[in-house]
Amino acid sequence: MELNTLLCTLWMETIGSAGDIQKRTQHKNIALTLGRNEFRDVVLKLEFPKRDMKFALKELTIFKKFVKEGKATIKIPDRNIQFLLSNCPPDKLIMFLKTMHTKLECHKQKPPVHDRKRLLSDRPKTFEDISPLTLKDLQTVHEMRAKNVENKSDMFTPKGKGKRKRENDEKENVLPQGVKMARKLVSTSCSPFKPVLNPVKLNKGQTSVLDAIISRKNVFFTGSAGTGKSFLLRRIIGALPPQHTYATASTGVAACHIGGITLHSFAGIGSGRADLQQCVELASRPLVIQQWKKCQHLIIDEISMVEGDFFDKLETVARVVKQNDLPFGGIQLILCGDFLQLPPVTKGSDKRKFCFQAKTWPKCVQLNMELTEVKRQSDNHFINILQNVRLGRCPDIVETTLRATAKHNIQKDGILATRLCTHKEDVDQINKYQMEKLNATSKVFLSTDNDTSYAKQIDSLCPVPHKLELRVGTQVMLAKNLEVHRGLVNGARGLVTGFEKGGEGLPIVKFLSGLEEVIKPARWTFKAAGAVYLTRRQIPLKLAWAISIHKSQGMTLDCVEITVSKVFESGQAYVALSRAKSLEGLRVLDFDRGCVRANPDVLKFYHKLDLTRRMLQTNIEEYS
């Protein structure tokens, strides 16, 4: 479907002269299309099953507070009507609103066609799809905006108030309920969107995956570390209807990265070790079964850490609770992960079973796809080293190169390399030791959580702790993107240089880039089981002398120190090494080729995937 068309659930409201709602009707799966009529007006077309409605736009008000939830309100004042949109793919909704607003503003700059001329016109009635946004369109609106600011200086927001208002808006945006008209109003007199015409584009492999998912295929896509799997997942989530899409992951850390929930929270069957009847009963609890019934698209990130028997149990539960005999109850599966990274966690002597070894995997997964373009590292030599380690290979050149990194001096401006550890206990011990070396007074920041009864769940999902202890000299890492264009990004490291005087005494951090910034509290919102929204407000910092390999998944670090003597899992050394952005920023203290391991069953699976991909490519070339 093109960018000028939007599929959604729509409430149409007729507004009385006193501003009251006189009539309200709901319509599901309605297509909204932007176009132009015979007079080149911007027209909004609503496609109902038996008829179409067209509205030539003159003035427009957009309420877009919940746009990231796939919701917005479009008000057409001269027609006394408004449309409440919900269940829209968020990315598509943003682009649709941006196109509608921009095209209408550009149209206003042209001489109007008067009513008399319209009435006397013998032009045939037409409707043609609107053209895509161009740089010229955006420049026109930008110039108009600048001109309006010059002409209406009295409309400037007094210094300080704009920031406070934005903070309040963020607070209001925490718990969306139902289809509400957002209070963040956008009139057509100023641009509501940043004029970004070229967002980061998907590469060929990522585009193929997205196309397959849009065409409703059940897809497993994989790729080595740094190939943009998480980035692609966020684009996939933005392209699907939010009311019927559940983004999950096998771990809380991974779920946080994609703004989702853990797979266990969604499924509601605990560990899945109970018998089928008991699992079905657990999944049939009111709040849990509501999720299963609504779910049409299920995303599972870090699928490599999902145990095969658990996947089989989920598949059966899905068919029973959905009362649908299709694989996984007819739910579209979007699975992502790298089986050559961290494996499933098993208890005791239980034999490990990967998800691809599950009995139901072949009938549930229609397409296996692999991303091959590495984006995290740019040095081909380092990329080749990582690819060898990923496949469990350690030729002499790899061993020699990695051993040589032990001499790297990667400390800069007092900021030490972050140590990646296999065990959480080692992380806590290193961070505690380094903190106690600082001869300074501690300042403690406690988070504000909206529901303390969910404290453990919030801790598992949120990258920052409930209790954060800082001192002058503490080495920290940003846990959230704040201002990307200024380098204040997730993973940016620095030192606490002081605390603000008065107020909350917020920490001042000097980052590796040289930027010194007061770090204000940020908010995280998580969607838990049963449509419950959990929030945490905390300073977006965490201690960065050491972090665990598990917690480092998805991160890119400029300076990394690794000890591999305690590596106990296949793929663990690869995960740790691949966090480094460059070979120059890596120091391996005790490299031994014995730590480079890949599971034989996983290697066979990937060999088969590669063989299938090559055969398919050969067939395409032969018949093209």
Distance CA 583, CA 445 (A): 36
Per-residue confidence (pLDDT) for residue 191, from 0 to 100: 36
Beta bridge partners of 31: 7, 47
Nearest 5 degrees, angle CA 281-CA 285-CA 291? 115
Beta bridge partners of 507: 499
- Strands of 168-242, DSSP E: 185-187, 219-223
Please tell me whether residue 412 adopts helix, strand or coil conformation.
strand
Residue 602: Cβ-neighbour burial (10 angstroms; 0-12, 13-18, 19+):
buried
Q: Which residues contact 27 (CB under 8 A, 6 or more apart)?
A: 9, 10, 11, 12, 48
* Residues of each annotated binding site: 223-230
Tokens representing residue 495 in the block = 């030192």
Per-residue confidence (pLDDT) for residue 197, from 0 to 100: 45
Per-residue confidence (pLDDT) for residue 323, from 0 to 100: 94
Tokens representing residue 375 in the block = 């984006």
Distance CA 339, CA 361 (A): 14
Per-residue confidence (pLDDT) for residue 132, from 0 to 100: 87
Per-residue confidence (pLDDT) for residue 190, from 0 to 100: 34
What type of residue is 598? A
Please tell me whether residue 572 adopts helix, strand or coil conformation.
helix
Of 22, 3, 1, 4, give the one whose Cα is nearest residue 13: 22
Of 464, 468, 474, give the one whose Cα is nearest residue 497: 474
Are the CB atoms for 506 and 519 separated by under 8 Å?
yes
Distance CA 359, CA 231 (A): 30
Low-confidence stretches of the chain (pLDDT < 70) are 1-3, 149-199, 348-350, 529-531, 616-624
Half-sphere exposure of 229 (CA within 13 A, CB side): 27
Alpha helix stretches (DSSP H) within 22-89: none
Of 41, 1, 33, 46, give the one whose Cα is nearest residue 126: 41
Of 437, 536, 519, 433, give the one whose Cα is nearest residue 478: 519
* Residues of each annotated binding site for ATP: 223-230
Per-residue confidence (pLDDT) for residue 348, from 0 to 100: 62
pLDDT tens per residue across span 493-548: 999 999 998 888 999 999 988 899 999 999 988 877 666 788 999 999 999 999 98
Of 82, 89, 40, give the one whose Cα is nearest residue 61: 82
Per-residue confidence (pLDDT) for residue 158, from 0 to 100: 53
Q: Which residues contact 273 (CB under 8 A, 6 or more apart)?
A: none
Per-residue confidence (pLDDT) for residue 185, from 0 to 100: 46
Please tell me whether residue 624 adopts helix, strand or coil conformation.
coil
Distance CA 281, CA 279 (A): 5
Are the CB atoms for 224 and 575 separated by under 8 Å?
no
Per-residue confidence (pLDDT) for residue 192, from 0 to 100: 41
Which helix (H) or strand (E) covers residue 282, if one does?
Answer: helix 276-283
Of 546, 492, 542, give the one whose Cα is nearest residue 517: 492
Count other C-beta atoms under 10 Å from residue 196's C-beta: 9
Per-residue confidence (pLDDT) for residue 214, from 0 to 100: 93
Per-residue confidence (pLDDT) for residue 468, from 0 to 100: 95
Distance CA 377, CA 582 (A): 6
pLDDT tens per residue across span 36-70: 999 999 999 999 988 899 999 999 999 998 898 89
User: What is the 3-class SS of 496-508, one letter each residue?
Assistant: EEEECCCCCCCEE
Domains for the chain: give ranges and CATH numbers: 5-110+127-136 (2.30.29.30), 204-370 (3.40.50.300)
- Strands of 181-244, DSSP E: 185-187, 219-223
Q: Which residues contact 124 (CB under 8 A, 6 or more apart)?
A: 38
Single pTM value for the model: 0.80
Per-residue confidence (pLDDT) for residue 151, from 0 to 100: 65
Q: What is residue 488's DSSP assignment?
A: B
